[in-house]
A and B are shown apart, each in its own frame.
Chain A
Amino acid sequence: MGNLYDVIILGGGPAGLTAGIYLSRAKIKTLIVNEGIIGGQMSLTHEIANYPGIESLSGYMLSVNMQKQAESFGCKIISNVKITKYNLKNDIKSITVNEKEEYKSKAVIIASGGKSRELGVLGEKEFAGRGVSYCATCDGDFFQDKEIIVVGGGNSALEEAVALTQYASKVTVVHEFGYFQAYKHAIEQATNHPKIDFILNSTVSAFYGSQSLEKVTVKNLKTGEEKDINIDGVFIFIGYIPKTEPFAEILSLNEGGEIIIDKNMMTDISGVFAAGDCITKRFRQITTAVADGTVAALNAIEFIQK
């Protein structure tokens, strides 16, 4: 019964890794199955300066540390795989990975987080990895001395725009409103930066190029006026949507696609818990994901020991 676990965690971001640390340390046989990159959105963050006890660290390194910590307690982690079947309703839950391997458990914690919202406009998919990016840490240095656009006006967009100035010769922030939805310090840092310009009340409505991105159309959302801008790269930070599509038919989601949980972080299926950015909540941060992961893990321990 090598594939039978006490708890399977779906997702290896900060919520899932934290749950993995707590469960494995309590000698609960735990498997994390992660569909994307370990660390999730956290690993895409250039610099994390608001995680208590750590003055400043790249999101990637914080992810590696959390992974090591979970593994050191015996947590098994499978990453960058596709889950092709979910069977969560019975007492023994099961998932199938890559259409081949079946894993079973007494409880499941869903920590599937969120994914970058895409603009959904002409050329965006075609130029992903060829000038369109959702990760400044990963792709920033391809834009050394080049001119780039950052789309968005929240904390992530403004903070990553500032981070990108270490590579780019000029960063233009294109934002759909006339104001920013970010903390004061992030707004001040960006607006005072000599390399950063702003185009407000506007969005990027199309991407063009041949082998790589060469040009975008920027549309003024107030006047409808469109203009083409020659550009080398565009980084998109326009918020996140919960990654809960596989669960839509299985358990209750709210109208925003977020998983509804009770006070014990259990969903409406017995033994299925949820934590992190995928649940109904207001503030989506690493600290809140880590806290959710802790609470879900402790409740899962109580559930399986009942």
Chain B
Amino acid sequence: MTLQTNLDHIETENQYNDILSNNENVMICCGRMGPMCVPVYADMETLRDEYPNVKFYDMLFDIPDAQVIRNLPECVGFMGLPFTVYYKNGKVVKATSSIQMREQITAVLDEYFSE
């Protein structure tokens, strides 16, 4: 099961591990097709061209394998969708809960992934 977005979807834990092992800069938005999540996916779709050094993915919050994100220590205490997680060399550098404005997302991308 996937989200109805134009992003690449992560559907399994194996795929998640592969992506993190093979890419330096990764942003994953884990959510549903709800009011707080959709704007974040839409921003990620348009940010792909601006940040070619970052891989952008989404993951449906309700699939069992999404526990890899739901159970991250960085997401403990999160009670608002989506959970958006930024990874550098497989390590979490930042995680946010609930909707983020485009400028909040780019601030994180610039801080951690600028070349």
Contacts and interface: CB of A to CB of B under 8 A. Distances in A.
A167 to B, nearest CB: 12
Contact of A80 (B81, B96, B102): B102
A130 B102 contact: no
Contact of B102 (A63, A82, A137): A82
A143 B35 contact: no
Nearest to B34: A138
B42 interface: yes
Contact of A130 (B40, B42, B97): B97
Interface string A18-36: 0000000000000000001
A182 B38 CA distance: 31
A81 interface: yes
B52 interface: no
B1 interface: no
Interface string A103-131: 00000000000000000000000001111
B44 to A, nearest CB: 11
A30 to B, nearest CB: 19
Interface string B30-42: 0000111011101
Contacts of A142: 79-80
A43 B36 CA distance: 9
A233 interface: yes
B102 A131 contact: no
A133 interface: yes
Interface residues of B, number: 21
Interface string B20-64: 000000000000001110111011000000000000000000000
Interface residues of A, number: 31
Given A98-B103, A138-B34, A37 B39 contact: yes
Nearest to B36: A138
Contacts of B92: none
Given A81-B102, A98-B102, A37 B38 contact: yes
A98 B42 CA distance: 15
A38 interface: yes
Nearest to B79: A142
A135 interface: yes
Contacts of B76: 211-212
A38 B76 CA distance: 29
B35 A129 contact: no
A82 B79 contact: no
Contacts of B40: 80
B101 A143 contact: no
B39 A139 contact: no
Interface string A49-72: 000000000011001000000000
Contacts of A138: 34-36, 80-81, 98
B39 A60 contact: no
A139 B81 contact: yes
B81 to A, nearest CB: 6
Given A80-B99, A98-B103, A138-B81, 14 more contacts: A37-B39, A37-B99, A59-B35, A63-B35, A82-B102, A128-B80, A128-B98, A129-B96, A129-B98, A130-B77, A139-B98, A142-B79, A211-B77, A212-B77
8 contacts: A37-B36, A60-B35, A82-B103, A135-B35, A137-B34, A143-B79, A212-B76, A212-B78
Interface of A: 36-39, 43-44, 59-60, 63, 79-82, 98, 128-131, 133, 135, 137-139, 142-143, 209-213, 233
Interface of B: 34-36, 38-40, 42-43, 76-81, 96-99, 101-103
